[in-house]
Amino acid sequence: MRPRHYVLIAVIVALGVFNYFRVRRAQSTQQATPVSIATGPVPQSPSWNAFDKADALRDAAESQFSAQLQTLDQTVQAAPATDPTIAEVKGCQMWLMFYRQGIVHPSKDTSWRDRSTKHLDECVKTHHDAG
């Protein structure tokens, strides 16, 4: 072996050690960060209520879904600009549209529908009124 091979081996070992300690530090930082647990029901906004109704109809006929989606659009547009939940509602609404596209145009590739289903279930679980 030539000297450059030893240098390459040393660099590879150094990168491995660096990554090992970087991952350990990240894990210890995550464990040390306190997690706040919300008690009681999650506060609802009219936008989330409209989203929950549209999401409940995500597998329904197009006429039912379209009517509820229109209500959701109107509710989001009528919300005050200072409402902090609007950005989240719009994001979840986009995933709802991706899901609906998978229903309307079924194909063998279900990756978008699967990812949309997972995201929508998380939206409902996180923001649905528990009370």
Q: Is the pTM of this model over 0.75?
A: no
Instruction: Indicate the domain borders of the chain.
Output: 1-35, 46-127
Give the HSE-up count for residue 7: Cα atoms under 13 Å, Cβ half-sphere.
3
pLDDT in tens, the chain (131 residues): 888 999 999 999 999 999 888 888 877 766 554 544 444 444 567 888 888 899 888 888 888 888 999 999 999 888 887 877 888 888 888 888 888 887 667 677 777 677 788 878 888 877 754 33
Pick the closest to residue 93 from 125, 70, 63 (CA basis): 70
